[in-house]
Amino acid sequence: MIRILANTTYARLFAAQVIALLGTGLMTVALGLLAYDLAGDRAGAVLGTALAIKMIAYVGLAPLTNAIAEYLPRKVLLVGADLIRAAVALALPFIDAVWQVYALIFVLQAASATFTPAFQALIPEILEDEGDYTRALSLSRLAYDLENLVSPALAGLLLLVMTYSGLFVGTAAGFLGSALLVISTALPVRQAPAKRRSFFQRLTRGGRIYLATPRLRGLLALNLSAAAAGAFVIVNTVVLVRSGYGGSEADVAYALAAFGGGSMLAALTLPRLLERLSDRAVMTGAAALLVMLTLAHGICMLTAGTLAWALFLVAWAASGVLYSAILTPSGRLLRRSSHAEDRPALFAAQFALSHACWLLTYPLAGWIGEAFGMAAALLLLGALAALGVWIALQVWPDADPEEIEHLHPDLPDDHPHLVEHGRRRHRHVFVIDDEHEAWPTHG
What pLDDT was estimated at residue 179?
95
Question: pTM for this structure?
Answer: 0.86
Position 442 scores a pLDDT of: 47
Ranking 186-200, 220-234, 261-275, 374-388 by mean pLDDT, the lowest is: 186-200
> Domain spans of the chain?
1-192, 199-395+429-443
Average pLDDT, the chain: 87
Q: What is the pLDDT of residues 177-214, one digit of tens each?
A: 999 999 999 888 766 666 677 777 777 888 999 999 99
Residues 300-329 have a mean pLDDT of: 94
Q: Where are the alpha helices (DSSP H) in 92-164?
A: 98-126, 130-158
pLDDT at 34 over 70: yes
Mean per-residue pLDDT, 410-435:
82
Q: Please tell me the predicted confidence (pLDDT) of residue 43.
A: 65
Residues 6+ apart with CB under 8 A from 351: 58, 62, 113, 116, 117, 120
Residues 253, 63: Cα–Cα separation, whole Å: 35
217 or 190, greater pLDDT: 217
pLDDT at 288: 98
Average pLDDT over residues 239-250: 82
CB 385 within 8 A of CB 221: no
Confidence of residue 247 (pLDDT cuts 50, 70, 90): confident
N- to C-terminal Cα distance for the chain?
A: 41
Among 112-116, 147-151, 156-160, 435-439, the minimum mean pLDDT is found in 147-151
Decide yes or no: CATH 3.30.565.10 for domain 199-395+429-443: no
Taking alpha carbons only, the member of 229, 236, 231, 276 closest to residue 255 is: 236
What pLDDT is attached to residue 242?
Answer: 80
Helix, strand, coil in percent for the chain, rounding step 5 = 80, 0, 20
* Confidence (pLDDT) at 189: 72
Name the nearest CA neighbour of 355 among 178, 71, 132, 109: 109
How many residues can be counted in the chain? 443
Least confident among 20-29, 195-204, 278-287: 195-204
Q: Which of 167-176, 235-244, 407-416 is modeled with the greatest confidence?
A: 167-176
Please give the residue that has the higher pLDDT: either 126 or 243.
126
pLDDT higher than 50, residue 174: yes
Per-residue pLDDT, 443: 40
CA 45 and chain centroid, separation: 24
What fold is seen in the domain 1-192?
Answer: Growth Hormone; Chain: A; (1.20.1250)
The yes-or-no answer to whether 1-192 and 199-395+429-443 have a common fold is yes
What does the pLDDT average to over 402-425?
Answer: 81
From 19-28, 93-102, 121-130, 248-257, the region with the lowest mean pLDDT: 248-257
Radius of gyration from C-alpha coordinates of the chain: 22
Amino acid of residue 409: P
Residue 117's SS3 state is: helix
Each residue's pLDDT tens digit, 335-387: 999 888 888 889 889 989 999 999 899 888 888 888 888 999 999 999 999 99
Q: Which pLDDT value is given to residue 95?
A: 86
